[in-house]
Amino acid sequence: MKKEFIFLGPPACGKGTQTGKLAQYLNFPHIDTGSLLRAEIKNGTPDGVIAKSFIDKGQLVPVDLVANIIKNRLSLPDCENGYILDGYPRSVEQADKLEEINKSIDKTPAKFMAIYFDLDADILLSRIVNRRLCPVCGEIYNLKFHPPKVDGICDKCANVLIQRKDDNEETAKARFDTYFRETAPLIEYYKNKNLLKTLDANGDINEVWERLLKTIND
């Protein structure tokens, strides 16, 4: 049976790391909607040109346009057995659009699952302010929970790690406020549809990974 996954959770809850691991484990495409939109713009597709016109004016890309870009991607052959969608939906309106998309493209029965990464706010804040990123390969570290073997140096490519400008306490709290105001209603949305699984996201990467495997197989 085709399997369709979306991950929900506030910034730094660990869903990005686990998305990549699960995509590799299941051999499913990991569809990062931010990267997808940037690629459409870079390649000058019709949707990309329209999206750029809104972004250049500092406006949000219309819901229907984003939905069309998502639909085109989910219709490709590599999504035939399933997909893991990252960064979409971000609102109840987008969730309704995704449901319409899946109904229109699913040729066989599919199992849809929304997985909510549940983590205490204090831990989330600590993860953000201690997060470090490799600007070359994109590997993410945390000075407390997942430090590099050599301080300040990426394990994979030996480049110097950086801290993102927005990885500070003030910005993090603002991002949490935005998330819980705009995106958290999706938790209730999927719970009411009996499509939500809640995952305890506290612990190291391997502990959360084992819980994730158990969750998707329940």
pLDDT tens for 57-97 read 888 889 999 999 999 999 999 999 999 998 899 899 999 99
Q: Give the integer Cα–Cα distance in Å for 21 and 205.
A: 10
Task: Provide the pairing of β-strand 140-142 with 131-133.
Answer: antiparallel
Residue 167 has pLDDT above 90, yes or no: no
β-sheet bridge partners, residue 200: 118
Looking at residue 10, its pLDDT comes to 86
Residue 179 has pLDDT above 90, yes or no: no
Looking at residue 68, its pLDDT comes to 94
Looking at residue 173, its pLDDT comes to 85
Q: Write the single-letter amino acid at 182.
A: E
Which string of b and e fits 175-193 if b means at least 16 CB within 10 Å?
bbeebeeebeebbebbeee
Q: How far is CA 131 from the centre of its chain?
A: 17
Q: Write the single-letter amino acid at 58.
A: G
Q: Note the pLDDT tens digit of each residue in 10-52.
A: 888 888 889 989 999 999 999 988 889 889 999 999 999 999 9
Q: Note the pLDDT tens digit of each residue in 99-155.
A: 999 999 998 899 999 999 998 888 888 888 999 999 999 888 989 878 999 999 999
pTM of the model: 0.81
- How many structural domains compose the chain? 1
β-sheet bridge partners, residue 146: 142
Query: CA 113, 213, 208 angle in degrees (round to 5)?
Result: 105
Query: Cβ distance 31 to 84 under 8 Å?
Result: yes
- At 10, give phi and psi (nearest 5°): -70, 170
Q: Give the integer Cα–Cα distance in Å for 12 and 131.
A: 9
CATH number at residue 95: 3.40.50.300
Q: Write the single-letter amino acid at 72.
A: N
**Active-site residues: which are they?**
15, 90, 131, 164, 175
Q: Give the integer Cα–Cα distance in Å for 163 and 133.
A: 6
Q: Give the integer Cα–Cα distance in Å for 146 and 126.
A: 12
Residue 67's domain spans which residues? Answer: 2-217
Give SS3 for 129. helix
Q: Which two tokens stand for residue 94?
A: 């987008």
